[in-house]
Structure 1
Amino acid sequence: MNKQSQEFNEQRILSHGNQNETIEQTIERIKQRIIQTGDKPHVTVARQLELINQLADFPLGQFLLQNRGFNGYWTDYLIEHQYKRRFTGIDAEGRSLRELEKFILDKNPLPLATQQKHIHSVKVIQNYVQEGAVLASLPCGVMRDLLKLNFTGVDNFRLVGIDLDFQTLEQAKKLAVEYGLSEKVEFYQEDAWSLSFKDELTLLSSNGLNIYEPDDQKVTELYRQFFQTLIPGGILVTSFLTPPPNVDPNSEWDMNQINPEDMSLSKIIFFDILDIKFTAFRSSSTTKLQLQNVGFDKIEFIWDNARIFPIVVARKPK
């Protein structure tokens, strides 16, 4: 990584990034914060310290402790888990998954919603695989959402990956080689709020950015940037986190689909211990209004079972 890319990378990434401390230092810092806070009505200090030790026992847990969010690699790990590791209980290196790791990937309501959201998103995007299409992903992560599409019978197309994270872009380039699509892919290290594309993309897929930005005006501006990148008739496929019942009494969550014990443990891990960064919740009505305000029409929502992490499909008018 060149120094300029690394500095650019570290200044603006919203989803992850640590404080340049070792995992041991991170664990000690979090433990001290929890000890100083003391027991809470729903969880003791001892229980939280036990969970920290369990998180420190597997790579995903270590990453979450240090970064309080998912990068491109770990988002892909979470999504791809449902296709193989869920059934084998073993990762690509032959390591058996830990019990807490299985909980995060198999029972935690948010990761489950993320996995379902990915399935819905890929189905929508596949409909726009056609001659002359320019399909983009932002932040692209490792870009499997586009690379895994079926391009049979389609010869003339472009794939565009845009991300701030230089390391993630390098991982995406390697994955493009694995899928045999290197010649079709272009990668750009750009800030989503100042994109260089204008009236160029057939479809833009964007997941995992607005959930880190609490300012509604900034998210509306983000959608305006997306709007400008698309050709007339172009499609935006994005997603958002709806607020849970403890945040909004009018929550859209379907609590019949959520195990209360799983929800409780999830809250302890992600909020009490990790103090996660992705807490920018928005209702479907707010999201629809934001998209309409920048010019999108034909707005459609596709929901996961628990109505936590829906995708929204919107069109730039012709």
Structure 2
Amino acid sequence: MNQQSQEFNEQRILSHGNQNETIEETVERVKQRIIQTGDKPHVTVARQLELLNELADFPLGQFLLQNRGLNGYWIDYMMEHQYRVGGINAQDCTLKELEKFILERNPPVLATQQRYINFGKIIQNYVQENIVFASLPCGIMRDLLKLDFTGVENFRLVGIDIDPASLELAKKLAVEYGLSQKVEFHQEDAWNLPFEDEFTLLNSHGLNVYEPDDKKVSELYQQFFKALVPGGILVTSFTTKSPDIDPNYEWNMSQINSEDLLLSKIIFFDILDVKFTAFRSSSTTKLQLQTVGFDEIEFIWDNARMFPTVTARKPK
């Protein structure tokens, strides 16, 4: 990859990017920001600095501190954690207490893990002969690779991502699942796809949550629409607005631990200042999908109604 293309990719990767500073430099920079901001009504500077030091003590926390978002590897790490023995990470090591909270109690992560399960169930229902499934951004593409293809011989799996590191990990995982002959990978910008009437089903998670501009999200959905065959299915997701943002919020507060929610807010918004802050209502999302031509739009909600899955069809 030449330097110009690498610079382009780094500009377009919304969720993370290469960091030129050490973790120590990152911690010091964040520490100074916290001190300069001062105590907040819901959290003191001292408490934030305590949590900052805890975040810097494990790899997931370090990645979040330096990137303010997640790449394909760490998304897979978080989603697959629900299938591991409690308190153990992917390397069979005991979790730090704060990482255990993030993976096992943090309300938005619990909602995302449930979304992951919903995606899998929906996509599995479309497994049949001659399907062409695409994942965008594919990350390491476990969502498609772990499907049950028993009795199905003719199918294609297409991974699309702008991040070359994720694509390399996806290629290795395809080998582990014994599906390397069924998989192809493309390094592309989701807003400028070369595909037209290509995919039976396209699943996409993790782009719209980083893009605050509704017009750009509609343009993204237009790219999805173009890439699907007539009658093709889009499976995507979005994050709904919290009570702090919208009095007409859709969250189910009876399913959310308020203390855990506050700690999550402190970690992800006060300390990490994460990039995934594009929240939308189900009505906005439905209108966006309808406007580009989708029909048969259905929502599948997680218990907390934080991270709904939405399916939509491109008319035949």
Structure 1 length-normalised TM: 0.98
Contact 2:77 2:90 in 1 (8 A): no
Aligned residue in 2 for 1:123: 121
Aligned partners of 2:306, 2:166: CA distance in 1, in Å? 26
Aligned to 2:272: 274
Distance in 2 separating the partners of 1:94 and 1:79: 16
**Aligned partners of 1:93 and 1:6: how far apart in 2?**
31
- CA distance in 2 between partners of 1:206 and 1:225 (Å): 12
- Counterpart check, 1:174 vs 2:172: yes
Q: Quick one: percent identity of the two aligned structures? A: 77
The number of aligned residues is 316
Cα distance between partner residues in 2 of 1:94 and 1:284: 39
Matches of residues 84-163 of structure 1 in structure 2 within 5 Å?
Answer: 84-85=84-85, 87=86, 89-163=87-161
Q: Which amino acid aligns with 1:139?
A: P
Aligned counterpart, 2:11 = 11
Q: Which residue is 1:56 aligned to?
A: 56
1:203 maps to 2:201: yes
Shift of 1:5: 5.0
- Kept in 2, the 8 Å contact 1:206–1:239? The answer is yes
How far 1:128 sits from its partner (Å)? 1.1
User: How far 1:105 moved relative to its partner?
Assistant: 0.5
Q: Which amino acid counterpart does residue 259 of structure 2 have in structure 1?
A: E
Match of 1:247 in 2: 245
Tell me the distance in 2 between the aligned counterparts of 1:285 and 1:146: 28
Contact kept? 1:5, 1:166, Cα under 8 Å: no
Cα distance in 2 for residues equivalent to 1:236 and 1:91: 32
Is contact 2:81-2:90 (8 Å) kept?
no
**Pairwise CA distance, 1:2:** 5.8
Aligned to 1:83: 83
Equivalent AA in structure 1 for residue 254 of structure 2: N
Cα distance in 2 for residues equivalent to 1:4 and 1:161: 23
Q: Shift of residue 18 of structure 1? A: 4.5
Q: Distance in 1 between matches of 2:111 and 2:37?
A: 31
Q: TM-score, normalised by structure 2?
A: 0.98
Q: Letter of the aligned partner of 2:179 in structure 1?
A: L
Match of residue 23 from structure 1: 23
Give 1:16 deviation, angstroms: 1.1
CA distance in 2, matches of 1:52, 1:125: 38
Deviations 1:160-182 (A, max 9, x none): 00001000000000000000000
Structure-2 residue corresponding to 1:303: 301
Is the partner of 2:312 in helix, strand or coil?
strand
Computed over aligned residues only, the root mean square deviation of the Cα atoms, in angstroms, reads 1.0
C-alpha distance in structure 1 between counterparts of 2:67 and 2:120, whole Å: 27
- Tell me how far apart the structure 2 counterparts of residues 231 and 155 of structure 1 sit (CA, whole Å): 20
Q: Aligned partners of 2:276, 2:135: CA distance in 1, in Å? A: 19
Q: Is the 8 A contact 2:134 2:157 kept in 1?
A: yes
Gaps of 5+ in 1: none
